[in-house]
């Protein structure tokens, strides 16, 4: 009797392995292997044509050159601020979609959030450039209404970058929030109001704790997208946007310094992993819970 059970377990295990094989290959070939190679490239120094030696010089250069680590910190702070603002904007929208509307209206609202993502990020960013540039729509309306005497340039600053990043990542915060809020029992909210709670206490004690897995998972995605974004900071912030991915692009493509670019890439990976780990610890969530 034991032999058929063992054979059945082996068959299930083999089937599971075969089903997981494409995912495992994808993770190994496109995620793990390139990052391992990038780390190896970052740890070498060119001493001659086709000759390299082990060195930490590219990491040392990062800490000795203030432009690099200041850009690094600026990118991290602005990405965290983008994540926070996206959460503040998305939370009431998600509550409205999850709890206050039903049927066709809910589907239409979801569709309205999804439609901008039918086009590429480049097209969406150019759309913001049309709105915010000196000869754009908003500047024209301000002059037409008499609120401005001359064309107003709203591009190439931190606010324009922030607006573009929030717009580009809003859906990735909205979807997990709607999913978690949809599972909240309405009777809990009604009981909290019946016991004397107000909007602030109900939000703090009932809604936020229940929505925490969605908040954390959405924040992780938005933060990673903002930190690794290249198009939006460069197009809306101009050549002086001082975004760290621009530094990586410059090292790889403009200066052909693959060793320095790889070192910057490793540092960006370490930074993003560290901040995500810290966010999970502070929120009391685990990575497995946020991925449910």
pLDDT reported for residue 290: 62
pLDDT reported for residue 292: 62
Q: Could you tell me which residues are beta bridge partners of residue 46?
A: 52
pLDDT reported for residue 85: 96
CB-based contact 165:229 (threshold 8 Å): yes
For residues 95-117, give the mean pLDDT: 85
Residue among 197, 200, 217 nearest 208 (CA): 200
- Cα 283–chain centre separation: 18
CB-based contact 244:23 (threshold 8 Å): no
**What separation in angstroms does the CA of 150 have from each of 99, 134, 147, 159, 263?**
45, 9, 9, 20, 45
CB-based contact 86:166 (threshold 8 Å): yes
What are the structure tokens assigned to 18, written together?
């075969």
pLDDT reported for residue 219: 92
Q: Which domains does the chain have, with CATH numbers?
A: 6-54 (no CATH), 64-291 (1.10.3720.10)
Backbone angles phi, psi at 48, to 5 degrees: -175, 180
Query: pLDDT tens digits for 167-211?
Result: 988 989 999 999 899 888 888 888 888 888 888 898 888 899 999
Q: How many whole angstroms separate alpha carbon 270 and alpha carbon 207?
A: 32
Q: How many whole angstroms separate alpha carbon 212 and alpha carbon 108?
A: 26
Query: pLDDT tens digits for 120-176?
Result: 888 888 899 989 888 888 888 989 988 888 888 888 888 999 999 999 889 899 999
pLDDT above 70 (res 5): yes
Q: Could you tell me which residues are beta bridge partners of residue 53?
A: 45
Query: pLDDT tens digits for 205-232?
Result: 889 999 998 899 899 999 999 998 988 9
Among residues of the chain, what percentage have pLDDT more than 70?
96
**Torsion sign over Cα 61, 67, 70, 74:** negative
Q: Could you tell me which residues are beta bridge partners of residue 54?
A: 44
Q: How confident is the model at residue 291 (pLDDT cuts 50, 70, 90)?
A: low
Task: Output b/e per residue, 120-144; b: 16+ Cβ within 10 A.
Answer: ebeebbeebeebbbeebeebeebee
Taking only Cα atoms into account, the Rg of the chain, rounded to an integer number of angstroms, comes to 24
pLDDT above 90 (res 82): yes
CB-based contact 230:249 (threshold 8 Å): yes
pLDDT above 60 (res 83): yes
pLDDT reported for residue 2: 63
Cite the beta strand spans of the chain per DSSP E.
44-48, 51-54
Among residues of the chain, what percentage have pLDDT more than 90?
25
What are the structure tokens assigned to 270, written together?
């370490």
Query: pLDDT tens digits for 43-70?
Result: 988 887 778 888 899 899 998 989 899 9
* 285 vs 253 pLDDT, higher one: 253
pLDDT reported for residue 177: 93
């Amino acid at each position: 009797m034991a032999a058929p059970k063992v054979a059945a377990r082996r068959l299930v295990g083999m089937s599971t392995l075969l089903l997981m094989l494409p995912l495992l290959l994808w993770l190994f070939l496109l995620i793990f292997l390139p990052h391992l190679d990038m780390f190896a490239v970052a740890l070498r120094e060119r001493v001659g044509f086709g000759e390299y030696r082990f060195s930490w010089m590219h990491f040392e250069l990062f800490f000795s050159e203030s432009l690099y680590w200041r850009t690094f910190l600026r990118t991290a702070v602005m990405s965290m601020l983008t994540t926070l603002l996206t959460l503040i904007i998305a939370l009431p929208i998600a509550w409205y979609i999850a709890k206050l509307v039903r049927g066709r209206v809910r589907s239409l609202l979801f569709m309205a959030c999804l439609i901008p993502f039918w086009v590429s990020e480049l097209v969406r960013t150019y759309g913001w450039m049309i709105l915010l540039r000196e000869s754009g729509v908003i500047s024209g309306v301000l002059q037409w209404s008499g609120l401005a005497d001359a064309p107003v340039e709203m591009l190439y600053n931190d606010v324009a970058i922030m607006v573009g990043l929030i717009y580009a990542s809003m859906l990735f915060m909205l979807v997990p929030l709607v999913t978690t809020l949809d599972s909240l029992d309405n009777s809990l909210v009604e009981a909290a109001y019946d016991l004397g709670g107000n909007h602030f206490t109900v939000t703090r004690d009932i809604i936020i704790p229940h929505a925490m897995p969605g908040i954390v998972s959405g924040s992780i995605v938005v933060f990673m997208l903002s930190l690794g974004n290249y198009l939006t900071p460069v197009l809306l912030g101009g050549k002086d946007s001082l975004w760290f991915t621009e530094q990586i692009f410059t090292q790889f493509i403009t200066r052909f310094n693959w060793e320095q670019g790889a070192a910057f890439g490793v540092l960006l990976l370490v930074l993003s992993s560290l901040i995500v780990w810290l966010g999970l610890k502070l929120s009391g969530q685990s990575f497995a819970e946020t991925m449910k």
